[in-house]
Structure 1
Amino acid sequence: MGKAAKEQLNRALNEHLNTIHETLQVLNQTPSSSLEKVRWQEVIQMGEQLYKQATMVGMLWTGETPEVKALEENMASYFNTLQGLLLLSHSSTVGAGPTLSSCIHASIKQVVDSSFMLMKESVSSYGSDNKKQKLSIPQLVGTVWEACSALKKTPATNITAIGRAMTQLAVSMKDVLREMNELKPADESSVQDSAEGESKSQYSDDSFAGDLGNDLSPEEMKIARLTIDVVSATLVVMKELIRSITSLLKQESSVVTATFVPSLERLLKLSQEIGLQIDELGASLYPPQEISALKAAMEKISSTTDEIQVELEKLKGCSEDFVKVCNGLRSSLKQLEAELDQSDATDITPKIENLVIE
């Protein structure tokens, strides 16, 4: 009877899982503009209902093994609520741009994944004498709660989603800048190593980590400092861009036209491209420094900054302050470029001198 009941539960579970998978396939498509848009608050409320259902699943396992019928009814109710959550979330993406859609899909995926784990473990635990397995169910209920609670932190509008993405990008650039500032010239590194060497094992993880990037020559250190100036100036541009967009939003509602969100998406995409180049600058500073990679990243940052300025001008949000910080970045790029050109010339001189004329 136990084996037959377990197979019955597995069949029911698989049917529910297949239904959810089919629904997810539909949700991957862009919703029709004729579909009525649902407020994100309704999705949050449905998430609260789902968590209550998850709590009921956990309560079934607080005593003896629950009856098959009770498990099946609870499973059906749970998946019906999950199905409703998916449909509501799909309707909430009407008019959503790529960034907002991505945020919503990521949040919903967490809810679906945690739900699958809970229900699979619930069915797997049926008839099992493994107490540890049964104790895992309350933990999985907690995972569902975390996923449902995260819905409250999910952006509800395109502008919020894009603004948050830009802010996160600025934070990432700040992290790169911090790492760059930790670079030290060879002489300073050797003094520090001798002072700390006796207190550290020669083969400790700390000693290996401390060696990375701490042997820059004076020429390499000069390039590193100028690159730091470029990243600092880029970070200022990003902050001023966010400020400019915020200022636009505070103006008359007529500013937010049908092309406003697509323009913001493009500004975000361009900003992310700069973020990639900032990462490239950081990676290229470690010895031996990659001069060609540094130059390529600089050129991309320069051209992308120009595109950002043009896009912001289309929105009539290109302030004097923004132009000023962009010019500051261009100035920093020129100084770094001049130093890299000089470094290239220095590197090629010995090669020319070593040429043998037959």
Structure 2
Amino acid sequence: MTYDFAVIGAGMAGASIAAELASEARVLLLEAEDAPGYHATGRSAAFWDECYGGPGVVPLTLASGPYLRDHGFLTTRGALHLGRASDRAAMDAFVATFAGTGVTIERLDRAAIEPRVPGLRSGWCEAIHEPACADIDVAGLHQHYLGQARRSGVELVCRAQVAALVREPGGWRIVTEAGGEYRASKIVNAAGAWADPVAALAGIAPLDIRPLRRTVVQLRVDPPAPADLPLVLDINGHFYFKPDNGRLWLSPHDEIPAEAGDAAPEELDVAIAIDRFEQATSWRIEAVERRWAGLRSFAPDRLPVYGADPADGSFFWFAGQGGFGIQTAPAAARLGAQLALGQGRDAMTRNIDPAAYSPARFHHENKLRTA
């Protein structure tokens, strides 16, 4: 059997685009691990933030919001980007950056911050408030797409790490390390941190999509983290924290270059996170209960990559989604499927410019550099 599309990677990216493609095509979904979602999808900090990823990602985030809310995957929490007096220029720049993008933000002073973040140390005197920020049910959304894919006839094969991609007349022969062999007319590269290595297997020039490690720790604190605490971020990107079932999830907002693999937290990064938290709040840390790390993969311009490779239209990129791939999954998958199937935009995607995310932008830059 020859599939129309073989999607490589069954995390959020692969599951969502496979589900969207399956209404019009025969789809194979290949996952290297024992089960989908082991890496980035299963290690998300689980929030939907209108400003996350920058202005270039905002159209995808805003387009995804109604779908996520209507299907019950969002629970409103709100977010605060905190700053000191010395950070006012950074606060002003943040506001200016998102002016006209459609996001909702407002400035707060210390008096308005204190009831929202009890125990905040003096010196943190202003904030930018994002009222629409929400917790996102990552596992629920992932299972939603896997279920939709299954009902639409997608064949999911786990323990199927790709060992070879062989170009043949009319399509591709895919060989897995377990010895499986499949054929498909087109490849969809949704391999996350492995996106460039998968491209190399196909003889496609990599796009310099690099995995960066991010650390998260779960703390038991005194007093306990209030259930209605907003997502709290440092305006300079030095930390963020949010409550989770009476505990606190804390990250040093790190981006450490790493090899594609099973990411693990480093003790130094955990210590940095705790030090930054203690500089911001007076809460006492009673225990570090869990720690984990995940890989967030970025293209050089930190925008996602959706579209057929200019060198071979049968190889389709759906990668480079950084830490925002979950919150943008509905619109990204819909747009990706429309591009791969040659369809027009619909109500969800009509305000999204696909050219902004095309892999052709990197081929153009490479030609300019070598001219």
Structure 1 and Structure 2 fold alike (TM over 0.5) = no
- Under a length normalisation based on structure 1, what TM-score does the superposition of the two structures give? 0.22
Relative to its length, the structure with more strand (as a share) is 2
Larger RCO: 1 or 2 (CA < 8 Å, sep 6+) = 2
Q: Which has the larger radius of gyration?
A: 1
Q: Give the alignment's TM-score, normalised by structure 2.
A: 0.21
More helix by share: 1
